Structure 1
């Protein structure tokens, strides 16, 4: 299972830099490594005004960073090696503990947009709960099976997508159900009737997209 998640917290990796240098775009270049005493991250950085001095000044005052250096110049920016402080809030250990891993991450809005892989829904829900328990603002953007990328985007409206994700995460499609329509509606601030209608429309759109895809393959 693959999840695309928006995360924000003052102590997430490089959050001070993200907020102090908003003209910079940061992406994971390689998976973070655990050295004998701390995590090391490698990040691909681009700066809209090409002023890396401002980005490096922000790094120097970032409380999640112990040390950093530019290790390579690439076509669209630079690669930085960053030694993370013990105060940095990391999601990597939580993923590994649940049999998952980090696919990639990039800065977005006031935080990180990350892609993670986990073995199943239960592991995803447990990972989400661990983040929320630590005060992380956790917003699921997309959730899909690794072998079902063709139906990841099927033209759902934003309210339909959020309702489906909320229902899935809360166990609405399990037997027995983990949440009722009334509870789901209250969670989203809508009536149970509105939740039921929105859910039916979303499910119909998913079915239409799936059978359209199957039909295309059969032809």
Structure 2
């Protein structure tokens, strides 16, 4: 296995790997002595999924479903009045990041408001389905997301607007070099949440030179 950091001063390198091992990466520098909680949690959950799939002889689709469940793990602490600059350090505690933003901005709801909201859902036909109870946080969230998706968004001050998980990716490779690349979009181009499974794409291909 090889890793190529996207930070200057950190060259690509290879690691000796063995079957049955799980590796996790975060956004910190590679030689950071502290393992982020989300990385530790993710490694444990992935190992549990693999053991369950092997033990029960489950297929690829069940494996993918369970891995998406891992990527949906939301253990982000509540914002508790923190501004965005301080709250961003909490992101290391959760695999999935719900939309969060600068609390000082009147247009951006707090993360705990967003997490408790029931946003508009886009179905497979591109039509919107509305829940009967939609609170103010949802309306504010939809407005901000739509505004940030404009071709020419209005200028914003540093560290304002929304941040969160936009896509989830799963790459599977078998012993013959057959690869499956899956990506799940969580938001449509206008900033509306997409129902899980309706924004999925899958690409299959053979890795050239696998057996050479």
TM above 0.5, yes or no, is no
Structure 1 length-normalised TM: 0.23
Q: Which protein is richer in helix relative to its size?
A: 1
Q: Which protein is richer in strand relative to its size?
A: 1
